[in-house]
Amino acid sequence: MACTQCGTPYYLPPEVCNGAQYNAKADMWSLGVLAYELCALRYPFAAATLPALVMAIVAGKVRLGLDLGLGLGLGLGLGLA
């Protein structure tokens, strides 16, 4: 089990946010965050400060939806228009 902290805060797993030991499952969490980012074109967790980001990750408050900020409203055949 590891217990060091490094990396981009947006990809932190809840275990690291809580200061607990973590294993390979934490890497899968980060991969899932990356997959979400590639699909939604935004981070699943966002906040104005690092403590608020950590609280959002631990609480599991995911930002849903596709928003490019371009006012295009991409339909993609998913009823998102």
SS (H, E, C) 3-64: CCCCCCHHHCCHHHHCCCCECHHHHHHHHHHHHHHHHHCCCCCCCCCHHHHHHHHHHCCCCC
Q: When comparing pLDDT for 72 and 20, which is higher? A: 20
- Nearest Cα residue to 22 out of 1, 53, 45, 43: 1
The pTM (predicted TM-score) of the whole model is: 0.67
The 10s digit of each residue's pLDDT in 29-64 is 999 999 999 988 889 998 899 899 999 999 987 877
Give residue 79's pLDDT: 47
Give residue 34's pLDDT: 92
What is the fold, at CATH topology level, of the domain defined by 1-81? Transferase(Phosphotransferase); domain 1 (1.10.510)
Write the CB contacts of 18 (distance below 8 Å, at least 6 apart in sequence).
Answer: 58
